[in-house]
Amino acid sequence: MAWVYSFGGGKAEGQAGLRELLGGKGANLAEMSNLGLPVPPGFTITTEVCTHYYTHERTYPDDLKTVVDAALASVGEQMGARFGDAASPLLVSVRSGARVSMPGMMDTVLNLGLNAQTTEGLAALTSDARFAYDSYRRFVQMYANVVLGLDHALFEEILEGEKERNGVELDTELSADDLKGIAALFRERVETETGRPFPEDVREQLWGAIGAVFRSWQSPRAKTYRRLHNIPEEWGTAVNVQAMVFGNRGETSATGVAFTRDPSTGEKLLYGEFLINAQGEDVVAGIRTPQPVAKIVRERQRGRKPSMEEALPAAYAELEGICARLEAHYRDMQDVEFTIQEGRLFMLQTRSGKRTAEAALKIAVDMVEEGLIDRNTAVLRIDPNALDQLLHPTLDPSAPKELIATGLPASPGAATGEVVFSADEAEKRAADGRAVILVRAETSPEDIHGMHAAKGILTARGGMTSHAAVVARGMGRPCVSGAGVLKIDAVNGSMTAGAVTIGRREIITIDGATGQVFRGAVPMRQPELTGDFGTLMGWADSVRTLKVRTNADTPADAATARRFGAEGIGLCRTEHMFFEAGRIVAVRQMILADDEQERKAALSKLLPMQRDDFAGIFRAMDGLAVTIRLLDPPLHEFLPQKEEEIAEVARAAGSTPAKLRARAIALHESNPMLGHRGCRLGVTYPEIYEMQARAIFEAALEVEQSGYAPVRLEIMIPLVAFKSELEFLKGRIESVARTIQRERGRCPAYLIGTMIELPRAALRAQEIAAAAEFFSFGTNDLTQTTLGLSRDDAGTFLTEYLSKTLIARDPFVSIDQDGVGELVKIAAERGRAVRPKLKLGICGEHGGDPDSICFCHEAGLDYVSCSPFRVPVARLAAAQAALRYPRQQA
């Protein structure tokens, strides 16, 4: 097995298809080399070495150093230099390269190979001492931070102090002697902090950097990113060692990042940023605010500094041509890194670019129209979860607003929340249920947990390709970056924009589509899902086989879901209707009743209310299927807990506080989730289910008679464990239907089915199917009862299971396919063995999770049901499942 793959000079040992072995960056560097593009030579240490490193107590394969030395010598030959040679030194970068892009999450070291001797040699070779010592001070600072673990701020403090002492504002105004002195101060600080001198041996430097990259795979920020994006730990990272080219060689040198299309909108133009006389970390770190690559973008942003197209026209033209070639080759929008060294362009990276949902849709639809991809590829190209970005409100343009600052529109969408100034505070406040906006001078990879917790992100520095911008777009968080007017005092908890000062926990609103920042909360408006969204979703609907329903308890929810493309209601929870102020008294009277006669009297008050509820939902769905779950939760949930509430309820119910307390005690259960609920309530108090059945039938008749389409009615009995329970309650419902038939001369058509949410029900599905006309898998409770976990309590320890990789996903977020999923498959197979046309669906939270939807498709279910705002996500996920795993035709 080869541990190292070389690239450069118009050829490579690897290619794009070796992403698992070479990582995304290494595979694409090899591919660009094979395409003959100007790529500095280098080599990739494979992900297999990372695996070896972690399975062999952080050691390397025995022959790795020999192989690396040979590869390094080959790079030197191509560059006309030698690693560690004082007269003609080879300098390299050492970068991570995971299988999928993890922007900013792992470590990079630039300018490696510099020490006192090689820096002098570089100065003599280039006749540019300033460039040599600028590179050296950068290297010492970066190596000290990445490899030795010293705080970046220790060195920034020295740099700022020296700039102030020399009376200059910009790094570029420091002389060669200034930079030489700063490098010496940096080395002194390293020795003070670590007790050891800064390493002069270039091979010690190299292996220190390689080890740092491998260690960064297990850094807290990388672990957090992997958890948020479901990236397996065992994938590991590759390490790319590449000859340095320099963007800090003067006014004809530059470095930058570009996207072949606008990553926020999808517009087809070269969209990126660059800095003259700088190195790549200056652009992405957000320390300096860069200039646009394209002139049209600079004009739109009203920038005063020239674009790359204007300042370096020849290099821009070459970059534009290469980007067009790369996009055509990969058939996707590319995110490239480049350096211009004294007018000569070099390509350092290409990858599929992170983009917003809006941009992803536009790019996919446009590429179909351009003939680059077909419709199915376009459907597969969109991350279903990313559609969430499109389904939430934006700022109301007619609402009054107090504008306090404007920055760059780094990630679209609007967000309102309390101002917080640290990632830890953002995470804590969000955990307390508060909406927060994370405000930073600039973000760093260590802020990833706070960025995820925040509703939006605002930075004073950084551009459209800064860490904040890239990560926010990937997460779907609104972001405004580079709002230079802001003065942020994180220590004292305030930010100032002109005459306006905003303190910690004051409310602001940001608009990531315009870059604007407003004081206070600004009203929002609902999204309009048309254009590219409608086109792509039409393509998705044409290929999926799973139907998509919604979980909706009100006409408003039902209408929202229909607007998002729901094909029915898979779960209407009747208990939510019982909690409304106008009817809770009647519910409590029913619970307090001493006998069936009193209960029926109270239920008679609820009947017209339930009938109106159901009629509103039937009208909203207008002929689409509606599955109504009869009362499920235990009765004690409807009773008050506090003394003052007990007294008030007793008065309203015509009872006494003592009787109410006694009833509450009688209904109390040690484990109500497994107690007197679901069909058990119907067995004990069948009059409750009879009232609900009558309300359902009467509402359906009322709606049909008022001109709406016939109601496709499905009545669902929850928590069935035994066929006998279902048969008993089915008989009661059918009796009500016969009574309606006698009274009204007709009864609406209906099906009676059950929720499968207990392991016994799944295992005995062949018996239950004899009485049930449909199964709906209630995977929330099925997960609880199968794993013996309380969904409300498991969060306190499941995070430990995830962090220790004992489980790959939270089973309440994505279905446990090996356990809960096996029960679903058993129930489906056994149920259909008795009733071949048995309708099967899922109505737990898993119905909106793409991985769970794929499982449902493979398991042969007929539909999934999810919350209204997840309906488009489910539609797209179902289409992708159909394309990846076509069902066999019966």
Separation CA 12–CA 29 (nearest Å): 8
Task: Judge contact between 359 and 476, C-beta under 8 A.
Answer: no
Question: C-alpha distances in angstroms, 772 versus 117, 172, 395, 712, 730?
Answer: 83, 77, 48, 16, 9
> Residue 457 has which token pair?
């992100």
Write down how long the chain is: 890
pTM score of the predicted model: 0.78
- What single letter denotes the amino acid at residue 873? V
Q: What pLDDT, on a 0 to 100 scale, did the predictor assign at position 474? A: 64
Nearest to residue 864, comparing CAs of 882, 883, 850?
Answer: 850
Phi, psi of 306 (to 5 degrees): -65, 145
Nearest to residue 98, comparing CAs of 221, 243, 266, 226?
Answer: 226
Task: Judge contact between 244 and 108, C-beta under 8 A.
Answer: no
Digit-coded pLDDT (tens) for 165-193: 999 888 888 999 999 999 999 999 999 99
Nearest to residue 93, comparing CAs of 276, 279, 288, 278?
Answer: 279
Separation CA 436–CA 427 (nearest Å): 9
Active site residues: 467, 843
Question: C-alpha distances in angstroms, 357 versus 132, 169, 231, 363, 438?
Answer: 43, 40, 20, 10, 22
Residues 6+ apart with CB under 8 A from 494: 488, 501, 502, 503, 504
Burial of 325 (0-12, 13-18, 19+ CB in 10 A): middle
Separation CA 268–CA 365 (nearest Å): 12
Task: Judge contact between 882 and 540, C-beta under 8 A.
Answer: no
Separation CA 1–CA 361 (nearest Å): 41
> Residue 590 has which token pair?
């029913």
> Residue 262 has which token pair?
């606008």
Task: Report, as ranges of residue numbers, the positions in the chain whose pLDDT lies below 50.
Answer: 890
